[in-house]
Amino acid sequence: MDRKRCEAVLRKASRTSNGLLRTAELLRAGLHPRDLYALRDAGELEVVSRGIYRFADAPPLADPDLVTVAARVPKAVVALISALHFHRLTSEIPHEVSFALPKGTARPKLEWPPVRVYWFSGSMYDSGIEVHERDGVKVRVYEPAKTIADCFRFRNRIGTDVALDALRTALVEHRLTPAQIVRAARSARVETIVRPYLEAMQ
């Protein structure tokens, strides 16, 4: 395929995929793997993650970790500390992307970014999902009240202090009402754990 044709295919694919170019989609559009790798080696395309490229002259990604996970793992829902950070409910800086998948789903193969996968079942996975756009990509994230409840569920793994700090921040900044927190805690089966902390903070 000649260079102009290659660029036309890439530009069209970029417009329909919000700037991220997936190998499978490019091959279906008629781009030969040889041409794809030549553009990569020439520095015109950069590798975002295995099988995903973008134009090297595109603006920097604001949330490359979340965008990569959302693009590579469509069922992923950003959860726990990563969701707290997304909602600005923690001072913790995540060193990996925490996300949930439906129970029984195979662990995704990602070389980057570092990830921590949690498997949720039924309504634990399905409920409280928000969809946000980052860098033109739809990122699924658990809403704040569910995130805090889930942090209490997994307090032995992430630390009770992290869950308490998020709860306090949500109340002080009037981001959530006590009733919203109680409903989420009840759904996550941690109401008896959360309620005493909640009452002490009011």
pLDDT tens digit sequence for 156-173: 999 999 999 999 999 999
Nearest to 17 by CA among 167, 135, 127, 109: 135
Name the pTM for this structure. 0.78
Domains in the chain: boundaries: 3-55, 64-201
Two tokens at 126?
Answer: 């399905």
CA 192 to CA 41: how far, in whole Å? Answer: 57
Read off the pLDDT band of 127 (50, 70, 90). Answer: very high
- Which range is least confidently modeled, 109-113, 124-128, 139-143? 109-113
Distances (CA, A) of 128 to 69, 124, 147, 183, 194: 19, 9, 9, 11, 18
Two tokens at 41?
Answer: 């080696």
Read off the pLDDT band of 56 (50, 70, 90). Answer: confident
Specify the pLDDT at position 4.
67
Contacts with 159 (C-beta within 8 Å, 6 or more apart), sequence order = none
**Residues 57-64, mean pLDDT to the nearest whole number:** 72
Q: In one letter, which amino acid is 47?
A: V
Specify the pLDDT at position 84.
97
CA 92 to CA 73: how far, in whole Å? Answer: 24
SS (H, E, C) 97-123: EEEEEECCCCCCCCCCCCEEEEEECCH
CA 113 to CA 56: how far, in whole Å? Answer: 19
Q: 115 and 101 in contact (C-beta within 8 Å)?
A: no
